[in-house]
Amino acid sequence: MNQTISVEAMGIAHDDEYQTLPHPVTAKARNYRGGETPVHSHPRAQLLYAGSGVMRVETEAGCWVVPPVRGVWIPAATAHRVIMLGAVEMRTLYIRPDAAPGLPEQCCLIEVSPLLRALILALLDEPLAYDRTGRAGQIAALALSELRFLKIPALHLPMPADQRLHRLCQQQIARPDSRDTLETLAGQQATSSRTLARQFQRETGMSFRQWRQQASLVEALGHLANNMPVALVAEKLGYRSASAFTAMFRRSLGVEPRRYFSGELADVPSSPLQPPS
């Protein structure tokens, strides 16, 4: 049985043995009451998945809210921090980089299919140093194959590399109900709104309005995952009404707020991972 431990007591969330075994895939289960990890990285790529509960994963390039129906792909050597939004049953696959050619080179949210969920749980039932020629080896190989055909949902909050814009974005994340205009923010930065808009598009691939809406969605998912009423989430994010917030959510993610966590995600905008050529 997996022991529930606090992040603070555990420290950096990885063990050397999971990274150094010759096995192409290793699986780890940890339960958390809450908290967050320090910024850290792994020699292996990581598929981070929650059997229950919700996490937020942050890197220099962006952040992702991870409900149980989703996972985050974290390439090897990527510095990241994991924040537990309440109690979390974390399930992780560590994947040797040469065992997963063709998979994304950047962090991304992925849909964890029922088959992959079953494979993760099956591999956790096997010894850590499993027989690579036996049943566990076949489970690991099938998990690697399934990864290549998963879908990447569109929800992602990119963070600009420019330090001035990065700080501006952090301020907006800290104040999700802010309605500062681009002109106001440009004045604070001693630049023109046109210049700031061009910089924002170049750094994030989004307009400032699109980015702020995406930031609202990321913030909303964390609250909804903890069963906060939709009306209160809408209020916290500065929406005039719950119906206005719900309409925005449905336009962006294809489902109503409560259905996002139900597994009914067939209509959510996404793109398939392609198998390596």
pLDDT surpassing 90 at residue 93: yes
Give the separation between CA 271 and CA 111, rounded to whole angstroms: 10
pLDDT band at 185 (very low <50, low <70, confident <90, very high): confident
Backbone φ and ψ for 69, nearest 5 degrees, come out as -85, 0
Tell me the average pLDDT across 200-204. 87
Find, among 199, 172, 183, the residue nearest to 63 by Cα: 172
Whether the CB-CB separation of 150 and 120 falls below 8 Å is answered with: no
Tell me the average pLDDT across 154-168. 80
Question: What percentage of the chain exceeds 70 in pLDDT?
Answer: 86
Residue 38 has what pLDDT?
92
Radius of gyration of the CA atoms of the chain, in A: 20
pTM as predicted: 0.67
Between 16 and 49, residue with greater pLDDT? 49
Find, among 207, 187, 158, 179, the residue nearest to 58 by Cα: 158
pLDDT band at 271 (very low <50, low <70, confident <90, very high): very low
Hey, is 32 helix, strand or coil?
Answer: strand
Residue 15 has what pLDDT?
63
Find, among 176, 109, 177, 153, the residue nearest to 255 by Cα: 153
Whether the CB-CB separation of 166 and 58 falls below 8 Å is answered with: no
Structure tokens at 82: 């994991």
The average confidence (pLDDT) of the chain is 82
Tell me the average pLDDT across 31-47. 92
pLDDT band at 154 (very low <50, low <70, confident <90, very high): low
95-140 pLDDT per residue, tens: 998 887 888 888 888 888 889 999 999 999 999 999 999 999 999 9
227-269 pLDDT per residue, tens: 789 999 999 888 889 999 998 888 877 778 877 766 544 334 3
pLDDT band at 9 (very low <50, low <70, confident <90, very high): very low
Tell me the average pLDDT across 33-44. 91
Question: What percentage of the chain exceeds 90 in pLDDT?
Answer: 32
Whether the CB-CB separation of 196 and 186 falls below 8 Å is answered with: yes
pLDDT surpassing 60 at residue 277: no
Find, among 92, 104, 95, 102, the residue nearest to 66 by Cα: 92
pLDDT band at 153 (very low <50, low <70, confident <90, very high): low
Residue 270 has what pLDDT?
39
CB-CB neighbours of 222 under 10 Å: 18
pLDDT band at 275 (very low <50, low <70, confident <90, very high): very low
Residue with tokens 């998963």, as numbered in its chain? 150
Q: Is 3 exposed, middle or buried (0-12, 13-18, 19+ CB in 10 A)?
A: exposed
pLDDT surpassing 60 at residue 273: no
